Amino acid sequence: MRENLLKIQRAIDDGVQIPFSFIGCDRHNALKPVRPGKKDTVSPYYIVANKGRYYLLDCGRGRSRMAIWRIDLMREVEVSRGETDLKPLRVKNKLDVKNLPQSWDDNSSFQSLDMDFDPPLPIKLRVYHGEHSGTDYTFLHDSFGGTFRYERTETETPYGDIVRVASGSFSMVNWVLQYAGRVEVLEPKEVREKVKEKLRTLNQRYGPAE
């Protein structure tokens, strides 16, 4: 892992592509090559830490969309060189890569929950009060850091707090289901409808609550 991180960071600093082999778990929980005898070559951009693991945000050669790889599963990382002059191959321009953040700062991960890099949307939430007076915002801070914004406390039922966050729609739907008893998506409508659709699917799969 340490050697991989050093090589990848050096490639990012130098703006060059890297080839590597990738391994994954099979049904017996054993690590094996995903594509035996083949390597993937990518333009590396950012190393991101998430829930105790390191990930590489990159773009594969011949592709136009960002990809994400677990760095601890990468093997034989090296600098990619051309077939004729053996010079390192330069990375693809960030502007030409779909879904890739053009810059990365301390707040970027709070808008990309669970490594979801859909474009972040402004989202309006209702946060329900718990058993005690007031609202515990620890779970919001755990997910969004200091980027969430309290707007107001409702003076009529259901007496929740109105809060604004920014997140991709895919990760927001799953996050809301995780905290279904504590939050409700109010806006935008398309994210609220996606939550409803996920709930309908779960209801069909598990049946109505008894």
Final residue in a domain of this structure, among 98, 122, 138: 98
Q: What pTM value is reported for the model?
A: 0.70
Question: Which pair of structure tokens corresponds to residue 174?
Answer: 């799953």
CA distance 171 to 181: 17
* Higher per-residue confidence, 145 vs 131: 145
Q: Is residue 194 part of a domain?
A: yes
CB 94, CB 76: distance < 8 Å: no
| Average pLDDT of the residues of the chain | 87
The three-state secondary structure class of 122 is strand
- For range 14-30, the mean pLDDT: 89
Q: How many domains does the chain have?
A: 2
Kindly tell me if the per-residue pLDDT of 85 is higher than 60.
no
Per-residue confidence band for 145, with pLDDT thresholds at 50, 70 and 90: confident
- For range 188-194, the mean pLDDT: 96
- Which pLDDT belongs to residue 186? 97
- For range 80-98, the mean pLDDT: 79
Vertex 169, ends 204 and 197: CA angle to 5°? 15
- For range 23-50, the mean pLDDT: 89
Q: Is residue 154 part of a domain?
A: yes
Say what percent of the chain tops pLDDT 90: 50
CA distance 191 to 127: 16
Final residue in a domain of this structure, among 70, 98, 126: 98
Does 93 share its domain with 6? yes
Neighbouring-strand partners of residue 199: none
* Higher per-residue confidence, 116 vs 59: 59
Indicate the burial class of 144 (C-beta count within 10 angstroms; 0-12, 13-18, 19 or more): buried
Does 66 share its domain with 121? no
Question: Which pair of structure tokens corresponds to residue 6?
Answer: 């050093």
Give the lowest-confidence range in 11-20, 80-89, 150-159, 183-192: 80-89
Kindly tell me if the per-residue pLDDT of 132 is higher than 60.
no
- For range 40-67, the mean pLDDT: 90
Does 122 share its domain with 200? yes
Does 117 share its domain with 143? yes
b vs e for 119-132, b when ≥16 Cβ sit within 10 Å of the residue's Cβ?
A: ebbebbbbbebeee
Per-residue confidence band for 89, with pLDDT thresholds at 50, 70 and 90: confident
Does 125 share its domain with 199? yes
Vertex 41, ends 36 and 45: CA angle to 5°? 135
- Which pLDDT belongs to residue 131? 60
- Determine the structural domain holding residue 78 and report its residue range: 2-98
CB 15, CB 90: distance < 8 Å: yes
- Which pLDDT belongs to residue 165? 94
Kindly tell me if the per-residue pLDDT of 86 is higher than 70.
no
Final residue in a domain of this structure, among 98, 124, 159: 98
Q: Is residue 41 part of a domain?
A: yes
Does 31 share its domain with 73? yes
Sign of CA dihedral 93, 99, 101, 106: negative
